[in-house]
Amino acid sequence: MTTLNVSLDADGIASVEMARPEAFNAFDERMIEELGEAFAALSGNDKVRVILLKGQGKAFSAGADLQWMQRASVASHAENLADARRFAGMLAAVAHCPKPTIACVQGLALGGGVGLVAACDFAVAAEDARFAVSEVKFGILPSVIGPYLINAVGKRAALQLALTARRFDASEARSIGLVHQVVTREALPAAARAIIDSLLQNGPMALAEVKALYGRLHVGPVDGDVRELTAQTIARVRMTAEAREGFDAFLNKRPPAWMREAAP
């Protein structure tokens, strides 16, 4: 890959690092394609337990490469639609990944960079991180990232950020739920590692089941369809080999197999 550094360590921790520091990790057609491919490949790799999404250099991601946007502005409607669908597919690959995902944010996260943060399950930010949903400044709108931003911070806060395009700091990002923890830049790896350590204690298939189920649940009435979905899900998962291993390990006061496999 030409725009990413992708690695996997012995504990099953995958790292996806955006590697266009000279462009503040702004993404163009190539990076969008490679991010989608990377997350699809890692999603299907049984050795992967957790995925870290990072940006090389001073910034996490400045969002869309403006040269890419300029090319799109003179392309045909069919070309624009295909291009936008590829971007939407990439964000979906991140958001629907069955492995837990953690965004590590330093410096700028603008536009689509905010979308990447919102699409991850966890986000830790350095104290110097700055965010903006900046699309309207260029006469466009945060359309593809909109659903992920709304899911992360709520509809009213997302609308306010999208309409004003103002910059906000890491503390505000934490207060609205875009990020979950704010630390010094030097402490980012340790903060991410603490989340990883908690995740590695849990059944990997159970984590995937949580993500799949919660992706189908919405705030609102718990009607018959929702009750049936949750009942069918737990009935099926209780019968899996991983569940049997988890129950047996607890009752016999021993670490479950997935923790032994992750131990150094």
pLDDT in tens, 49-66: 999 999 999 999 999 888
Residue 71 banded pLDDT, cuts 50, 70, 90: confident
Tokens standing for 29? 């057609």
In the predicted structure, residue 192 carries a pLDDT above the cut 60: yes
- Complete domains list, the chain, with CATH: 4-199 (3.90.226.10), 203-262 (1.10.12)
pLDDT in tens, 110-128: 999 999 999 999 999 999 9
Spatial separation of the C-alpha atoms in residues 72 and 77, rounded to whole Å: 9
Per-residue pLDDT, 262: 53
In the predicted structure, residue 75 carries a pLDDT above the cut 90: no
In this prediction the pTM is 0.94
Cα–Cα nearest to 104, from 184, 203, 6: 184
Residue 217 banded pLDDT, cuts 50, 70, 90: very high
pLDDT in tens, 11-45: 999 999 999 999 999 999 999 999 999 999 999 99
Residue 261 banded pLDDT, cuts 50, 70, 90: low
Per-residue three-class SS string for 117-172: HHHCCEEEEECCCEEECCHHHHCCCCCCCHHHHHHHHCHHHHHHHHHHCCCEEHHH
Q: Is 12 left (phi over 0), alpha (psi -120 to 50) or beta?
A: left
In the predicted structure, residue 263 carries a pLDDT above the cut 80: no
Catalytic status, residue 245: no
pLDDT in tens, 230-260: 999 999 999 999 999 999 999 999 999 998 7
User: Which of the residues 17, 34, 135, 209 is marked catalytic?
Assistant: 135
